Amino acid sequence: METLFVGNHTIHLPEVTSTNSYANALLKDVKAPEGTLIWADHQTAGKGMRGNVWQAESRANITASYIFYPAFLNASNHFLLSKMVALALFDTLTELLNPANYDIKIKWPNDILVNGKKIAGVLIENSFREDKINSAVIGIGLNLNQEDFGELENKATSLYLLTKTQFPREDVLKKISKNLEVVYLQLKGEKKNQIKQRYLSTMLGFNTDLRFLKTADQSYFNGRIEGVEDDGKILIQLFSGEVKAFEMKEISFGY
């Protein structure tokens, strides 16, 4: 399927510090068309969440950023964009892998895991105008053909490691663009509930008893994930029955 606008305007770079940084700089100069895709063969300073570095072998993986102008979203609902992108990646992986044979999950906030290992990560950088989202740079790192993750071997995987098949980057980017367009138009077309419900139904640990680690004092507590708010906070029902909202930096789980 061709897309209406996502990925129609493309910038392919042999090398860049970070496709997100490139997109942010571009936005300072011009109003790039909505859905502009910037992708690179190699990033010299790829950015991950929480200030981490994103490392990806040259030419083997997808390192890409899309530009959107979701002015219909309130700044406080920014996490709807994360849910949307996670679902587009989930849908792409469901098309590429037989879901009967692989366990594909979204791990809050927006990591994608296959068989318990991370295959993709998302870094969204927004700019705001008044209380609306003026522009969003949606950075996607998806491991395609990388065969070796070194010390991350137990935590990271790629489509190649899962299937022993090589995946051409352009083909997978086309699928991502198509799936992103579908979910973006749902979000824009007031079908937010579909996005929210699907996010929960594909989320690792939803409605199951889990052990969480509190970042502040490294203590553990048990609870059950009840939902994720539009600002990104996770709702956890504690043993006492009380439901508490936590921010990303406050807790972690699934170790």
Give the residue closest to ligand BTN by C-beta.
121
Q: Provide, rounded to whole angstroms, the least separation between the CB of residue 38 and ligand BTN.
A: 9
Q: With respect to ligand BTN, which residue has the nearer C-beta, 156 or 223?
A: 156
CB of 131 to ligand BTN, least distance (A): 26
Query: What's the CA gap between 184 and 229, in Å, rounded?
Result: 18
Residue whose CB is less far from ligand BTN, 119 or 223:
119
**How would DSSP label each residue in the chain?**
---SSTTTSEEEEEEES-HHHHHHHHHHH--PPTT-EEEEEEESS-B-GGG-B----TTTSEEEEEEE--TTSBGGGTHHHHHHHHHHHHHHHHHHS-TTTS-EEEETTTEEEETTEEEEEEEEEEEEETTEEEEEEEEEEE--S----GGGTTTB--HHHHHS----HHHHHHHHHHHHHHHHHHHHTT-HHHHHHHHHHTBTTBTSEEEEEETTT--EEEEEEEEE-TTSPEEEEETTS-EEEE-GGGEEE--
Least separation in angstroms between residue 136's CB and ligand BTN is 13
State the nearest-atom distance from the C-beta of 21 to ligand BTN, in Å: 6
Q: How far is the CB of 45 from ligand BTN (least distance, A)?
A: 7
Residue carrying the six token digits 């910037």: 38
Q: Which residues bind ligand BTN (CB under 6 A)?
A: 18-20, 43, 46-49, 52, 54, 63-65, 111, 121-123, 139-141
State in angstroms the smallest separation of the CB of 193 from ligand BTN.
26
Instruction: List phi, psi (to 5°) of 17.
Output: -60, -55
